[in-house]
Structure 1
């Protein structure tokens, strides 16, 4: 199994890039994993305390569990991924069953910044976007999907999101094999990236290809 890591700031367009790559490879061949699912369980804290948590620091994630799951998938074993509720800032009792596929796409703000996670990634991508664009997308998403308000989102951005981006996310760009500028809206770069990943996957599959990969190999 090949692991593709897609990192970048909050609101950069990582999910759009991940979706494009998955569609190109064939979703039947790809298992998608979000780093957001692996926030540590802080349900023992009060809601007020949870709302003050710094969710943009590497220590916010249960990287030990994420690493264990990536290794299980690589060994051909299914996993049960956790579910994190951003409205309550806590992990729920729900899990999602994921089967191993020929390709795993791991997407998250800090997948290249955490050494132990990065070491498991075969192909590293960093999605870049202007800060003002990322902020606008963050505000829209948090209000729409995470039960936040404009005031709470801006405060979180200024106190944790931006400082952590500058301290951890932006520096992790150096580890990327490919950088996608202007985020997910850069259709030309995203399409070229998807095509490159397609060929990379075929040539690094160790001789084991899916039907989709065989079709790709025949066209080369």
Structure 2
């Protein structure tokens, strides 16, 4: 197997980056072995901490992520070696005791709000994307998602957004789009950009 192609997809919370990742995945998987790796699964293990400390974790800050392990795993995949990918348990605020075996594939889609913030990760990527969506649209999406799907209260969602999500976005996520090869407006609704990307990826693989 040739060296895998790594596609990094970043963007703010609820920007549509997951939708873009899934649409690219759906368009490629019939022709090439493809997998999505979510940055979220590489949050640091907190099993050594009491629960009252775990719940205070700022998941929007780069320090919350174990990029060293992710880089190690990506390098193994680039060598066509399998990895044991961690699985993060958000209810327990730490890593699950289970893991997922990832076999070598042709295309790796790496998705997360901070995947372009880390230089070591960027250096492993062949294509770097940033999904750019207006702040108010992202906030409304996040509000509806957290209340309807995660049982959060209105006050808790607004407080988290004001205290961590927006400040971390402005400090770390938004500046990282300068590293993108392509900025995609309007997330998964931008099918022109997705189709162009899939065509480019297929062309790269063929070469």
In the superposition, the TM-score normalised over structure 1's length comes to 0.86
3-state DSSP class of the match of 1:82? strand
Maintained 8 Å contact 1:20/1:194: no
Match of 1:215 in 2: none
Change (3 A) 1:142 1:41: farther
**How many pairs align?**
203
Structure 2 gaps, min length 5: none
Match of 1:9 in 2: 12
Q: Provide, for residues 99-132 of structure 1, a one-character-per-residue CA deviation record: whole Å limited to 9, x for no partner.
A: 1111111001111001111111111000111111
**Distance in 1 separating the partners of 2:138 and 2:194:** 17
Matched, 1:171 2:164: no
Matched, 1:102 2:102: no
Maintained 8 Å contact 1:76/1:100: yes
Q: Does 46-55 or 63-72 show the bigger shift?
A: 46-55
Match of 1:197 in 2: 201
In the superposition, the TM-score normalised over structure 2's length comes to 0.91
Matched, 1:114 2:115: no
Maintained 8 Å contact 1:83/1:94: yes
Q: CA deviation at 1:146?
A: 4.5
**Distance in 2 separating the partners of 1:175 and 1:106:** 15
| Equivalent of residue 69 in structure 1, options 60, 73, 91 | 73
**Distance in 2 separating the partners of 1:154 and 1:129:** 19
Q: C-alpha root-mean-square deviation of aligned residues, in Å?
A: 1.6
Alignment of 1:26-65 (within 5 A): 26=29, 29-65=33-69
Matched, 1:131 2:121: no
Runs of 4+ in structure 1 over 6 Å off: none
**Distance in 1 separating the partners of 2:80 and 2:133:** 35
Alignment of 1:70-89 (within 5 A): 70-89=74-93
Q: Provide, for residues 105-163 of structure 1, a one-character-per-residue CA deviation record: whole Å limited to 9, x for no partner.
A: 10011110011111111110001111111112222333455554332222111111111
**Distance in 1 separating the partners of 2:67 and 2:103:** 20
